[in-house]
């Protein structure tokens, strides 16, 4: 380390603990403030000799220790009973006794760490390897088996010659002048440093990206993310066509799906009879389904006014005499089987829904062709929606 010729302090070495104690007393009595004693190990009674106030370190510890305790307890309370409360073994959300151990540990942890960090950085200003006393002959001795005293140049009543006298009077066997160390400077805009910054940026972002988007989706992290089971619409490598979803074997009957007996016939001689009463529930369902599946072509009121603006041939109105004379079963048949350009809706509309639609169409037909008698009936309350 290069040193300036600016004086930092005058250091003197002594041989025995007794001498150094005495020396400390004298220096302090002479009213020096900025002086220090360096000994290879703490020498008892030195505090008194140097007139030092007792250490305040304890307060840091206390403060952090307490805050640790409070924080831990509060955090656990919040996490377990406010943020994400869950029933665990039938315990209440805030199971105090169970939280004690963690609280204790956190307290100790914070207390100790704060103490040490407080001590080293806040009180000692460590790390400080550029301290002028370091790396001097003086320091070598005091860290071995000698005892040293040093008076700093910035002491208000510092005077080189006086200090030297003082030391010699104290029978120090060697007095040494310690000089300031030259300050090095660190300019920011240095190509080397900028390159370093760049490198850091690239590496950090690179690794973050890799970890978050690649690593976490590799084995074993992806276990159970990709499942062997085959869910709806999933591909299966087992089948040559890779369709995970299969179609039933022709001619088989799933329970609840007895095939429609008249499928394929254009004008079936006989049809099914309507198993559903037009209750409000059924009609609401019918309306919903009609508007979803039928209205695009047949129009919202089954007038055959397509919403498709002629992109598709308009169907005839369902209010025609013919349509009104259709049996329920026939309409069901048409929905199921399709007619002319209309294709079968069997796979979109469930059987129950088909009957509901039939019922709804009946309502539309009647509403469109209402007779006066209907009004009377309504007044009589013979028809009410909630039949």
Residues in region 64-93 near another protein by CB under 8 A? 75-76, 79-80, 83-84, 86-92
The neighbouring-strand residues paired with 52 are none
Q: Toward another protein, which CB reaches closer, 58 or 316?
A: 58
For residue 243, give the DSSP letter: B
Region 205-224 residues binding another protein, contact defined as CB under 8 A = 205-209, 212-213, 217, 220-221, 223-224
- The number of residues in the chain equals 387
**13, 146 Cβ separation under 8 angstroms:** yes
Minimum Å distance from CB 153 to another protein? 16
In the structure encoding, which two tokens stand for residue 175, read together? 């007095």
Distance, CA of 87 to CA of 118 (rounded, Å): 41
By CB under 8 A, how many residues form the interface with another protein?
Answer: 128
Question: How far, in Å, CA of 332 to CA of 354, rounded?
Answer: 6
* Residue 359 phi, psi dihedral angles, 5° rounding: -60, -40
Interface pick for another protein out of 156, 237, 321, 379 (rule CB under 8 A): 237
Q: Which residues partner with 3 through β-bridges?
A: 181
Phi, psi (deg, nearest 5) at residue 147: -125, 130
Residues 256-295 as x/- pattern, contact with another protein by CB under 8 A: xxxx-x----------------------------------
Kindly state the smallest distance separating residue 379's Cβ from another protein, in Å: 33
Told to check if 57 binds another protein by CB under 8 A, we report yes
Q: Which stretch, 2-10, 171-179, 181-189, 293-301, contacts another protein (CB under 8 A)?
A: 181-189
Q: Which residues contact 144 (CB under 8 A, 6 or more apart)?
A: 40
| Structure token digits, residue 120 | 């080293």
Least gap, CB of 286 to another protein (angstroms): 17
Give yes or no for residue 384 binding another protein (CB under 8 A): no
| CB 92 to another protein: min, Å | 6
The answer to whether 18 contacts another protein (rule: CB under 8 A) is yes
Residues 352-381 that bind another protein (CB under 8 A): none
- Alpha carbon distances (Å) from 209 to 157, 220, 334, 356, 358: 61, 18, 58, 55, 58
> Should residue 157 be labelled a site residue for another protein when binding is judged by CB under 8 A?
no
Under the binding rule (CB under 8 A), the answer on residue 42 touching another protein is: yes
């Amino acid at each position: 380390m290069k040193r300036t010729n600016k004086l930092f302090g005058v250091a003197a070495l002594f041989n025995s603990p007794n001498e150094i104690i005495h020396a400390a007393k004298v220096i302090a009595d002479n009213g020096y403030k900025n002086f220090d004693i360096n000994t290879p190990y703490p020498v008892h009674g030195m505090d008194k000799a140097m007139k030092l106030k007792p250490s305040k370190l304890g307060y840091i510890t206390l403060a952090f220790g307490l805050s640790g305790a409070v924080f831990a307890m509060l955090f656990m309370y919040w996490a377990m009973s406010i943020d994400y409360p869950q029933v665990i073994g039938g315990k209440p959300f805030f199971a105090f006794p169970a939280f004690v151990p963690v609280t204790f540990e956190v307290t100790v942890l914070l207390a100790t760490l704060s103490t040490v960090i407080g001590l080293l950085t806040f009180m000692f200003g460590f790390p400080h390897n550029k301290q002028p006393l370091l790396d001097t002959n003086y320091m070598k001795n005091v860290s071995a088996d000698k005892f040293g005293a040093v008076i700093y140049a910035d002491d208000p009543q510092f005077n080189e010659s006086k200090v030297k006298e003082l030391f010699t009077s104290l029978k120090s066997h060697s007095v040494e002048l310690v000089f300031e160390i030259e300050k090095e400077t660190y300019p920011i805009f240095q190509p080397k440093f900028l390159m370093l910054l760049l490198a850091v940026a690239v590496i950090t972002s690179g690794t973050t990206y890799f970890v978050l988007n690649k690593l976490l989706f590799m084995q074993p992290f992806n276990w159970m993310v990709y499942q062997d089971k085959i869910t709806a619409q999933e591909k299966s490598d087992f089948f040559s066509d890779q369709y995970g979803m299969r179609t039933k074997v022709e001619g088989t009957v799933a329970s609840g799906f007895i095939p429609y007996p008249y499928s394929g016939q254009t004008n079936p001689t006989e049809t099914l009879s309507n198993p559903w009463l037009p209750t409000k529930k059924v009609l609401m369902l019918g309306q919903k389904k009609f508007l979803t599946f039928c209205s695009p072509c047949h129009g919202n009121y089954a007038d055959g006014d397509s919403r498709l603006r002629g992109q598709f041939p308009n169907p005839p109105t369902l209010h025609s005499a013919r349509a009104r004379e259709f049996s329920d079963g026939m309409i069901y048949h048409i929905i199921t089987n399709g007619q002319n350009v209309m294709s079968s809706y069997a796979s979109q509309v469930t059987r129950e829904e088909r009957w509901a639609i039939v019922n709804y169409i009946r309502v539309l037909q009647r509403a469109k062709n209402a007779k006066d008698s209907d009004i009377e009936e309504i007044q009589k309350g013979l028809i009410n929606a909630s039949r």
